[in-house]
Structure 1
Amino acid sequence: MSATLPLKAGSRLVLASHNKGKLVEFTALLAPYDIEVISAGELNLPEPEETATTFEGNAQLKALAAAKATGLPALADDSGLCVSALGGAPGIYSARWAGPEKDFPAAMKRIEDGIGGDERDAWFICVLALAFPDGSGKCFEGRIDGTIAPEPRGAAGHGYDPIFVPVGESRTFAEMTDAEKNAISHRARAFEAFREGCLS
Protein backbone atom coordinates (compact mmCIF):
# COMPACT_ATOMS: atom_id res chain seq x y z
CA MET A 1 0.00 0.00 0.00
CA SER A 2 1.40 3.38 -0.96
CA ALA A 3 1.19 6.59 1.03
CA THR A 4 -1.92 8.68 0.63
CA LEU A 5 -3.17 12.20 1.24
CA PRO A 6 -4.37 13.20 4.72
CA LEU A 7 -8.02 12.76 5.57
CA LYS A 8 -9.98 16.00 5.38
CA ALA A 9 -12.40 17.40 7.94
CA GLY A 10 -15.94 16.34 7.11
CA SER A 11 -14.81 12.99 5.69
CA ARG A 12 -16.73 9.78 6.26
CA LEU A 13 -14.60 6.83 7.30
CA VAL A 14 -15.56 3.17 7.50
CA LEU A 15 -14.20 1.33 10.52
CA ALA A 16 -13.60 -2.17 9.17
CA SER A 17 -14.84 -3.91 12.30
CA HIS A 18 -18.01 -5.45 13.71
CA ASN A 19 -16.80 -4.73 17.26
CA LYS A 20 -19.09 -2.14 18.90
CA GLY A 21 -16.46 -1.30 21.50
CA LYS A 22 -13.96 -0.38 18.79
CA LEU A 23 -16.57 1.78 17.08
CA VAL A 24 -17.12 3.77 20.30
CA GLU A 25 -13.36 4.10 20.83
CA PHE A 26 -12.52 5.25 17.30
CA THR A 27 -15.54 7.54 17.06
CA ALA A 28 -14.28 9.35 20.16
CA LEU A 29 -10.69 9.47 18.89
CA LEU A 30 -11.71 10.93 15.53
CA ALA A 31 -14.40 13.34 16.78
CA PRO A 32 -11.96 16.27 17.25
CA TYR A 33 -11.06 16.01 13.56
CA ASP A 34 -14.67 16.23 12.32
CA ILE A 35 -14.53 12.76 10.77
CA GLU A 36 -17.72 10.69 10.78
CA VAL A 37 -17.12 7.01 11.58
CA ILE A 38 -19.45 4.24 10.44
CA SER A 39 -18.67 0.59 11.10
CA ALA A 40 -18.60 -2.36 8.74
CA GLY A 41 -21.13 -3.96 11.08
CA GLU A 42 -23.61 -1.10 10.62
CA LEU A 43 -23.25 -1.50 6.86
CA ASN A 44 -23.70 -5.29 7.07
CA LEU A 45 -20.40 -5.87 5.31
CA PRO A 46 -19.06 -9.42 5.49
CA GLU A 47 -15.95 -9.96 7.58
CA PRO A 48 -13.10 -11.04 5.30
CA GLU A 49 -11.11 -14.09 6.33
CA GLU A 50 -7.82 -13.05 7.90
CA THR A 51 -5.45 -15.08 5.74
CA ALA A 52 -2.30 -12.94 6.05
CA THR A 53 0.64 -14.00 8.20
CA THR A 54 1.37 -10.56 9.73
CA PHE A 55 -0.54 -7.91 11.67
CA GLU A 56 0.05 -5.47 8.81
CA GLY A 57 -1.21 -7.92 6.21
CA ASN A 58 -4.44 -8.66 8.07
CA ALA A 59 -5.12 -4.98 8.79
CA GLN A 60 -4.59 -4.12 5.11
CA LEU A 61 -6.83 -6.97 3.99
CA LYS A 62 -9.71 -5.77 6.19
CA ALA A 63 -9.30 -2.09 5.31
CA LEU A 64 -9.09 -2.69 1.55
CA ALA A 65 -12.14 -4.95 1.55
CA ALA A 66 -14.23 -2.29 3.34
CA ALA A 67 -12.94 0.57 1.17
CA LYS A 68 -13.68 -1.26 -2.08
CA ALA A 69 -17.13 -2.39 -0.89
CA THR A 70 -18.24 1.11 0.16
CA GLY A 71 -16.30 3.52 -2.02
CA LEU A 72 -15.16 5.28 1.18
CA PRO A 73 -11.83 5.41 2.99
CA ALA A 74 -11.61 2.62 5.57
CA LEU A 75 -9.58 2.05 8.71
CA ALA A 76 -8.83 -1.38 10.18
CA ASP A 77 -6.67 -2.63 12.97
CA ASP A 78 -5.05 -5.92 13.79
CA SER A 79 -3.46 -6.48 17.14
CA GLY A 80 -2.28 -9.17 19.49
CA LEU A 81 -0.05 -10.30 22.33
CA CYS A 82 3.39 -11.70 21.54
CA VAL A 83 5.29 -13.75 24.15
CA SER A 84 9.05 -14.19 23.79
CA ALA A 85 9.20 -17.65 25.36
CA LEU A 86 6.52 -18.83 22.91
CA GLY A 87 8.41 -17.61 19.87
CA GLY A 88 6.12 -14.59 19.51
CA ALA A 89 2.89 -16.58 19.88
CA PRO A 90 -0.04 -16.15 20.11
CA GLY A 91 0.67 -13.07 17.93
CA ILE A 92 -1.75 -12.78 15.00
CA TYR A 93 -3.63 -15.76 16.44
CA SER A 94 -4.32 -14.05 19.80
CA ALA A 95 -8.11 -14.03 19.35
CA ARG A 96 -8.13 -17.58 18.00
CA TRP A 97 -6.29 -18.88 21.07
CA ALA A 98 -9.42 -17.93 23.03
CA GLY A 99 -11.58 -20.02 20.70
CA PRO A 100 -15.05 -19.27 19.36
CA GLU A 101 -16.33 -18.80 22.91
CA LYS A 102 -13.73 -16.05 23.55
CA ASP A 103 -12.46 -17.95 26.58
CA PHE A 104 -9.54 -15.69 27.49
CA PRO A 105 -9.00 -17.24 30.95
CA ALA A 106 -8.23 -20.52 29.14
CA ALA A 107 -5.99 -18.68 26.67
CA MET A 108 -4.10 -16.99 29.51
CA LYS A 109 -3.62 -20.35 31.23
CA ARG A 110 -2.29 -21.78 27.94
CA ILE A 111 0.29 -18.98 27.88
CA GLU A 112 1.32 -19.56 31.50
CA ASP A 113 1.59 -23.33 30.94
CA GLY A 114 3.78 -22.73 27.89
CA ILE A 115 6.21 -20.24 29.37
CA GLY A 116 8.16 -22.17 32.00
CA GLY A 117 11.28 -20.73 33.63
CA ASP A 118 11.81 -17.02 34.12
CA GLU A 119 11.43 -15.82 30.52
CA ARG A 120 8.33 -13.65 30.77
CA ASP A 121 9.04 -10.87 28.26
CA ALA A 122 6.06 -9.96 26.07
CA TRP A 123 4.71 -7.16 23.93
CA PHE A 124 1.46 -5.99 22.44
CA ILE A 125 1.37 -4.88 18.78
CA CYS A 126 -1.33 -2.90 16.99
CA VAL A 127 -1.24 -2.06 13.29
CA LEU A 128 -3.74 0.43 11.86
CA ALA A 129 -4.28 0.33 8.10
CA LEU A 130 -5.95 3.15 6.21
CA ALA A 131 -7.16 2.21 2.72
CA PHE A 132 -8.85 4.06 -0.11
CA PRO A 133 -11.12 2.56 -2.78
CA ASP A 134 -8.35 2.93 -5.41
CA GLY A 135 -6.15 0.57 -3.40
CA SER A 136 -3.82 3.21 -1.98
CA GLY A 137 -3.21 3.51 1.74
CA LYS A 138 -0.75 3.35 4.57
CA CYS A 139 -0.07 1.39 7.77
CA PHE A 140 0.85 2.64 11.24
CA GLU A 141 2.26 0.47 14.03
CA GLY A 142 2.19 0.83 17.80
CA ARG A 143 4.01 -1.42 20.28
CA ILE A 144 4.29 -1.61 24.05
CA ASP A 145 6.71 -3.92 25.83
CA GLY A 146 6.18 -5.61 29.17
CA THR A 147 6.07 -8.91 31.01
CA ILE A 148 3.58 -11.67 31.71
CA ALA A 149 2.27 -11.61 35.30
CA PRO A 150 2.42 -14.92 37.23
CA GLU A 151 -1.38 -14.90 37.49
CA PRO A 152 -4.22 -12.77 36.08
CA ARG A 153 -4.91 -9.59 38.08
CA GLY A 154 -7.55 -6.89 37.71
CA ALA A 155 -11.11 -6.70 36.44
CA ALA A 156 -10.86 -3.88 33.88
CA GLY A 157 -9.86 -4.13 30.24
CA HIS A 158 -10.42 -7.17 28.06
CA GLY A 159 -8.60 -10.04 26.37
CA TYR A 160 -5.11 -10.61 27.76
CA ASP A 161 -5.04 -7.38 29.81
CA PRO A 162 -5.08 -9.24 33.19
CA ILE A 163 -1.67 -10.84 32.55
CA PHE A 164 0.21 -8.00 30.82
CA VAL A 165 2.38 -5.66 32.92
CA PRO A 166 3.82 -2.81 30.81
CA VAL A 167 7.43 -1.73 31.30
CA GLY A 168 7.72 0.77 34.15
CA GLU A 169 4.51 -0.44 35.80
CA SER A 170 3.73 -2.91 38.58
CA ARG A 171 0.07 -3.16 37.57
CA THR A 172 -1.46 -5.14 34.74
CA PHE A 173 -3.48 -3.38 32.06
CA ALA A 174 -6.59 -4.79 33.77
CA GLU A 175 -5.66 -3.02 37.03
CA MET A 176 -5.52 0.38 35.29
CA THR A 177 -8.34 2.76 34.46
CA ASP A 178 -9.29 3.03 30.80
CA ALA A 179 -7.68 6.47 30.67
CA GLU A 180 -4.40 5.17 32.12
CA LYS A 181 -4.25 2.24 29.73
CA ASN A 182 -5.30 4.27 26.71
CA ALA A 183 -2.55 6.80 27.35
CA ILE A 184 0.20 4.21 26.83
CA SER A 185 -1.32 1.27 24.97
CA HIS A 186 -0.19 -0.17 21.64
CA ARG A 187 -3.44 1.04 20.05
CA ALA A 188 -2.88 4.56 21.40
CA ARG A 189 0.64 4.57 19.94
CA ALA A 190 -0.59 3.32 16.56
CA PHE A 191 -3.33 5.97 16.55
CA GLU A 192 -0.77 8.68 17.36
CA ALA A 193 1.27 7.62 14.32
CA PHE A 194 -1.92 7.61 12.24
CA ARG A 195 -2.90 11.04 13.56
CA GLU A 196 0.49 12.50 12.65
CA GLY A 197 0.48 10.90 9.22
CA CYS A 198 -3.13 11.46 8.16
CA LEU A 199 -4.87 14.01 10.34
CA SER A 200 -2.35 16.80 10.81
Structure 2
Amino acid sequence: MLSYLKQSIVITFVLFVFLGGIYPLFVVGIARVLGPNGGKGEIIKRGEKIVGFANVAQPFTSDKYFNSRPSAFNFDATNGSYGSNAGPSNPDYLATVQSRIHTFLVHNHGVKKSDIPSELVTASGSGLDPHLSPEAAYVQIARIAQVRKLSQDKVKALVDEQMEDRFLGIFGPRQVNVLKLNLALDNLK
Protein backbone atom coordinates (compact mmCIF):
# COMPACT_ATOMS: atom_id res chain seq x y z
CA MET A 1 0.00 0.00 0.00
CA LEU A 2 2.83 2.39 0.87
CA SER A 3 4.50 1.72 -2.49
CA TYR A 4 1.29 2.77 -4.30
CA LEU A 5 1.20 5.98 -2.29
CA LYS A 6 4.85 6.73 -3.18
CA GLN A 7 4.13 6.03 -6.88
CA SER A 8 1.12 8.34 -6.79
CA ILE A 9 3.13 11.15 -5.20
CA VAL A 10 5.98 10.76 -7.71
CA ILE A 11 3.59 10.70 -10.68
CA THR A 12 1.74 13.75 -9.33
CA PHE A 13 5.02 15.64 -8.88
CA VAL A 14 6.30 14.70 -12.36
CA LEU A 15 3.02 15.72 -14.00
CA PHE A 16 2.97 18.95 -11.99
CA VAL A 17 6.47 19.88 -13.15
CA PHE A 18 5.82 18.89 -16.76
CA LEU A 19 2.28 20.26 -17.22
CA GLY A 20 2.69 23.23 -14.92
CA GLY A 21 6.15 24.31 -16.00
CA ILE A 22 7.90 22.63 -18.91
CA TYR A 23 4.93 22.39 -21.30
CA PRO A 24 3.76 26.03 -20.81
CA LEU A 25 7.32 27.28 -21.31
CA PHE A 26 7.56 25.18 -24.49
CA VAL A 27 4.31 26.68 -25.85
CA VAL A 28 5.44 30.23 -25.02
CA GLY A 29 8.76 29.55 -26.72
CA ILE A 30 7.03 28.34 -29.88
CA ALA A 31 4.76 31.42 -29.83
CA ARG A 32 7.77 33.72 -29.45
CA VAL A 33 9.48 32.13 -32.46
CA LEU A 34 6.51 31.52 -34.77
CA GLY A 35 3.82 33.93 -33.58
CA PRO A 36 3.26 37.44 -34.87
CA ASN A 37 5.08 40.15 -32.92
CA GLY A 38 6.97 37.58 -30.86
CA GLY A 39 3.80 35.90 -29.62
CA LYS A 40 2.19 39.16 -28.50
CA GLY A 41 -0.27 39.26 -31.39
CA GLU A 42 -0.60 41.26 -34.57
CA ILE A 43 -0.71 45.00 -33.88
CA ILE A 44 -2.67 46.96 -36.47
CA LYS A 45 -1.62 50.56 -37.05
CA ARG A 46 -2.91 53.39 -39.18
CA GLY A 47 0.15 55.53 -39.73
CA GLU A 48 1.90 55.60 -36.36
CA LYS A 49 -1.31 55.21 -34.34
CA ILE A 50 -2.25 51.78 -32.99
CA VAL A 51 -5.90 51.13 -33.88
CA GLY A 52 -6.18 47.62 -32.48
CA PHE A 53 -5.01 44.06 -32.34
CA ALA A 54 -5.95 41.51 -35.00
CA ASN A 55 -6.56 38.79 -32.42
CA VAL A 56 -8.90 40.74 -30.10
CA ALA A 57 -12.39 41.87 -31.06
CA GLN A 58 -13.49 45.47 -30.85
CA PRO A 59 -16.99 46.93 -30.76
CA PHE A 60 -18.27 48.49 -33.98
CA THR A 61 -21.71 50.01 -33.60
CA SER A 62 -21.91 52.54 -36.42
CA ASP A 63 -24.06 51.50 -39.37
CA LYS A 64 -21.18 52.30 -41.73
CA TYR A 65 -19.09 49.45 -40.29
CA PHE A 66 -19.42 45.68 -40.10
CA ASN A 67 -20.56 44.75 -36.61
CA SER A 68 -18.40 42.47 -34.49
CA ARG A 69 -19.68 39.44 -32.69
CA PRO A 70 -21.17 40.46 -29.32
CA SER A 71 -19.02 40.17 -26.22
CA ALA A 72 -20.21 38.84 -22.88
CA PHE A 73 -18.16 41.51 -21.08
CA ASN A 74 -18.02 44.51 -23.43
CA PHE A 75 -14.75 43.61 -25.20
CA ASP A 76 -12.65 44.18 -22.07
CA ALA A 77 -9.64 41.86 -22.38
CA THR A 78 -7.96 43.14 -19.22
CA ASN A 79 -9.85 40.71 -16.98
CA GLY A 80 -9.21 37.61 -19.07
CA SER A 81 -11.11 35.78 -21.74
CA TYR A 82 -14.36 34.06 -20.86
CA GLY A 83 -17.99 33.71 -21.85
CA SER A 84 -21.10 34.34 -19.85
CA ASN A 85 -21.77 30.61 -19.31
CA ALA A 86 -25.47 31.42 -19.68
CA GLY A 87 -27.42 28.79 -21.56
CA PRO A 88 -30.62 28.74 -23.61
CA SER A 89 -32.72 28.02 -20.53
CA ASN A 90 -31.57 31.23 -18.81
CA PRO A 91 -34.32 33.89 -19.17
CA ASP A 92 -31.85 36.80 -18.89
CA TYR A 93 -29.72 35.31 -21.64
CA LEU A 94 -32.77 34.79 -23.87
CA ALA A 95 -33.82 38.41 -23.29
CA THR A 96 -30.32 39.59 -24.23
CA VAL A 97 -30.34 37.55 -27.45
CA GLN A 98 -33.85 38.81 -28.35
CA SER A 99 -32.68 42.38 -27.76
CA ARG A 100 -29.69 41.82 -30.05
CA ILE A 101 -31.97 40.33 -32.73
CA HIS A 102 -34.31 43.33 -32.50
CA THR A 103 -31.39 45.79 -32.73
CA PHE A 104 -29.94 43.96 -35.72
CA LEU A 105 -33.27 43.97 -37.56
CA VAL A 106 -33.77 47.70 -36.89
CA HIS A 107 -30.39 48.50 -38.42
CA ASN A 108 -30.55 45.97 -41.27
CA HIS A 109 -33.79 46.59 -43.14
CA GLY A 110 -34.96 43.76 -45.35
CA VAL A 111 -33.17 41.03 -43.39
CA LYS A 112 -35.46 38.35 -41.97
CA LYS A 113 -34.95 37.07 -38.45
CA SER A 114 -34.27 33.59 -39.82
CA ASP A 115 -31.43 34.98 -41.98
CA ILE A 116 -29.41 36.35 -39.03
CA PRO A 117 -26.41 34.11 -38.31
CA SER A 118 -26.40 33.14 -34.64
CA GLU A 119 -22.88 34.51 -34.16
CA LEU A 120 -24.20 38.06 -34.63
CA VAL A 121 -26.51 37.76 -31.62
CA THR A 122 -24.57 35.38 -29.33
CA ALA A 123 -21.20 36.01 -27.71
CA SER A 124 -18.29 33.68 -28.40
CA GLY A 125 -16.84 31.45 -25.71
CA SER A 126 -13.92 33.81 -25.20
CA GLY A 127 -15.93 36.99 -25.65
CA LEU A 128 -13.06 38.34 -27.78
CA ASP A 129 -13.51 36.58 -31.12
CA PRO A 130 -12.32 39.05 -33.80
CA HIS A 131 -13.68 37.06 -36.76
CA LEU A 132 -16.99 36.58 -38.54
CA SER A 133 -18.11 33.84 -40.88
CA PRO A 134 -18.75 34.77 -44.52
CA GLU A 135 -22.51 34.58 -43.86
CA ALA A 136 -22.30 37.02 -40.94
CA ALA A 137 -20.40 39.50 -43.09
CA TYR A 138 -22.60 39.06 -46.18
CA VAL A 139 -25.84 39.72 -44.26
CA GLN A 140 -24.53 43.21 -43.37
CA ILE A 141 -23.52 44.24 -46.90
CA ALA A 142 -26.81 45.91 -47.88
CA ARG A 143 -26.75 48.22 -44.84
CA ILE A 144 -23.14 49.25 -45.34
CA ALA A 145 -23.54 49.78 -49.08
CA GLN A 146 -26.59 52.00 -48.49
CA VAL A 147 -24.98 54.07 -45.73
CA ARG A 148 -21.71 54.54 -47.62
CA LYS A 149 -23.47 55.00 -50.97
CA LEU A 150 -21.54 52.14 -52.58
CA SER A 151 -22.75 49.27 -54.71
CA GLN A 152 -23.41 46.01 -52.89
CA ASP A 153 -21.16 44.26 -55.42
CA LYS A 154 -18.24 46.51 -54.46
CA VAL A 155 -18.73 45.85 -50.73
CA LYS A 156 -19.12 42.09 -51.34
CA ALA A 157 -15.92 42.10 -53.41
CA LEU A 158 -14.13 43.75 -50.48
CA VAL A 159 -15.45 41.11 -48.08
CA ASP A 160 -14.30 38.35 -50.43
CA GLU A 161 -10.88 40.01 -50.76
CA GLN A 162 -10.48 40.16 -46.95
CA MET A 163 -11.68 36.57 -46.39
CA GLU A 164 -9.11 34.35 -44.70
CA ASP A 165 -8.91 30.77 -45.93
CA ARG A 166 -8.93 27.70 -43.75
CA PHE A 167 -5.69 26.90 -41.90
CA LEU A 168 -3.60 24.74 -44.24
CA GLY A 169 -6.61 24.70 -46.55
CA ILE A 170 -8.55 22.15 -44.48
CA PHE A 171 -8.71 23.14 -40.79
CA GLY A 172 -11.33 25.49 -39.40
CA PRO A 173 -13.83 27.72 -41.18
CA ARG A 174 -13.28 30.50 -43.68
CA GLN A 175 -13.52 33.78 -41.79
CA VAL A 176 -12.97 37.50 -41.99
CA ASN A 177 -11.27 39.71 -39.39
CA VAL A 178 -13.73 42.52 -38.60
CA LEU A 179 -11.12 45.17 -37.73
CA LYS A 180 -9.11 44.54 -40.90
CA LEU A 181 -12.32 44.51 -42.96
CA ASN A 182 -13.52 47.82 -41.51
CA LEU A 183 -10.12 49.46 -42.07
CA ALA A 184 -10.17 48.25 -45.69
CA LEU A 185 -13.72 49.62 -45.96
CA ASP A 186 -12.49 53.06 -44.82
CA ASN A 187 -9.79 52.93 -47.51
CA LEU A 188 -12.33 52.05 -50.22
CA LYS A 189 -12.86 54.87 -52.69
Structure possessing the higher radius of gyration over alpha carbons: 2
Q: TM-score, normalised by structure 2?
A: 0.27
Q: TM-score, normalised by structure 1?
A: 0.26
